């Protein structure tokens, strides 16, 4: 019985020892072995690996890309605008030995560096850059974080700025600015449209001037469109072509050169005097007619009475 008990104890001890010596490393992991507190060899590859029980210690390191949100950081931009910016960082371990030996907690270290780098980017940039040039800022932020992370065996895959929170006063001013810009663009578009329309109308009027029938067709089309609106009164313009026809077919009056024609008054001649109107006569009055003076023809020179004979 004693031998069986000892054998059972040895089997149990062997099973425990075997269980502690055999480890399984997953595909996305690497195993760093510490033997008596010292890194013994290169990281163990995926699969089953054996270590010396009670002597070796296996620490697994995840090589997957880690997504870490960066808490919102408040700062003042270069143009003195207070903003709150939050971001997200993507990184992974490329050297498991450095990630375990050179830094106590590489995830915490990367997070702290990301926060300080984000505040630095806010202070170096203007508000317009934070709103429009995020791609360039993301690249600069990734370079700033990756510089110290390389010594920890960590590679920064990329950094993305998620949101830029502005003060309410700044939001209102930007809204007014955007509205003014939209109004300016709409006015420019309307002016361009009127300019193009005026050019087309000028071309159309020039073409219709060479083809009067086109103008008539346009007039008829306008009449049809107006009549379709069921208006009670329809005013039509007098046809210009009829006036031109009458003007071209009316013969000009020749100048009068007859002998019996009265000559016109010369320029500068005084007009004939109009006799004053006669006053009405009374019941017992008669109008006296003026007779022209009669002249007696003289037979000869009149003798001089003052002369004496002889």
Residue 258 confidence (pLDDT) above 80:
no
**Same domain membership, residue 86 and residue 33:** no
Q: Is residue 264, in this structure, part of any structural domain at all?
A: no
Residue 114 confidence (pLDDT) above 50:
yes
Mean pLDDT calculated for residue range 103-131: 91
Q: Is residue 201, in this structure, part of any structural domain at all?
A: yes
* Total number of domains in the chain: 3
Q: Is residue 4, in this structure, part of any structural domain at all?
A: no
**Same domain membership, residue 81 and residue 48:** no
**Same domain membership, residue 158 and residue 71:** yes
Instruction: Give residue 275's pLDDT band: very low, low, confident or very high (50, 70, 90).
Output: low
CA quadruple 42, 47, 52, 56: dihedral sign: positive
d(CA 310, CA 297): 29
Q: What is the CATH number of the domain that holds 138?
A: 3.30.479.30
d(CA 38, CA 100): 12
Q: Is residue 95, in this structure, part of any structural domain at all?
A: yes
Q: Is residue 243, in this structure, part of any structural domain at all?
A: no
Q: Which domain holds residue 104?
A: 66-166
Q: Is residue 89, in this structure, part of any structural domain at all?
A: yes
Q: Is residue 74, in this structure, part of any structural domain at all?
A: yes
d(CA 209, CA 261): 45
What percent of the chain has a predicted confidence (pLDDT) above 70?
Answer: 72
**Same domain membership, residue 156 and residue 74:** yes
What average pLDDT does the chain have?
Answer: 78
| Between 305 and 275, residue with greater pLDDT | 275
Nearest to 105 by CA among 122, 93, 115: 93
Instruction: Give residue 235's pLDDT band: very low, low, confident or very high (50, 70, 90).
Output: low
**Same domain membership, residue 195 and residue 114:** no
Nearest to 63 by CA among 31, 108, 40: 31
- Encode pLDDT of 48-86 as tens digits: 888 888 888 888 999 999 999 999 998 888 888 889 999
d(CA 148, CA 155): 10
């Amino acid at each position: 019985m004693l031998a069986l008990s000892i054998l059972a104890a040895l089997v149990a001890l062997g099973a425990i020892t075997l269980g502690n010596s055999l480890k399984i490393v997953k595909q996305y992991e690497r195993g760093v072995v510490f033997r008596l507190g010292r890194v013994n060899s290169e990281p163990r590859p995926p699969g089953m690996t054996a270590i010396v029980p009670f002597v070796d210690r296996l620490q697994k390191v995840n090589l997957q890309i880690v997504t870490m949100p960066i808490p919102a950081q408040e700062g003042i931009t270069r143009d003195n605008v207070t903003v709150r910016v939050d971001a997200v960082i993507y990184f992974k371990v490329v050297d498991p030995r450095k990630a375990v030996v050179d830094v106590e907690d590489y995830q915490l270290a990367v997070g702290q560096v990301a926060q300080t780098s984000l505040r630095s980017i806010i202070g170096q940039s203007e508000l317009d850059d934070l709103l429009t040039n995020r791609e360039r800022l993301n690249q600069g932020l990734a370079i700033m974080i990756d510089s110290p992370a390389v010594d920890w065996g960590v590679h920064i895959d990329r950094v993305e700025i998620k949101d830029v929170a502005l003060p309410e006063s700044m939001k209102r001013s930007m809204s007014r600015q955007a509205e003014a810009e939209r109004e300016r663009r709409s006015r420019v578009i309307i002016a361009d449209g009127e300019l193009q329309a005026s050019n087309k109308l000028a071309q159309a009027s020039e073409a219709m001037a060479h083809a009067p029938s086109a103008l008539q067709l346009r007039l008829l089309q306008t009449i049809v469109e107006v009549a379709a609106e069921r208006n009670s009164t329809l005013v039509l313009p007098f046809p210009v072509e009829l006036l031109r026809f009458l003007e071209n077919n009316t013969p000009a009056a020749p100048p009068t050169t007859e002998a019996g024609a009265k000559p016109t008054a010369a320029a500068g001649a005084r007009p004939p005097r109009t006799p004053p109107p006669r006053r009405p006569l009374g019941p017992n009055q008669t109008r006296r007619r003026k007779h022209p003076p009669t002249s007696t023809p003289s037979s000869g020179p009149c003798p001089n009475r003052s002369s004496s004979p002889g």
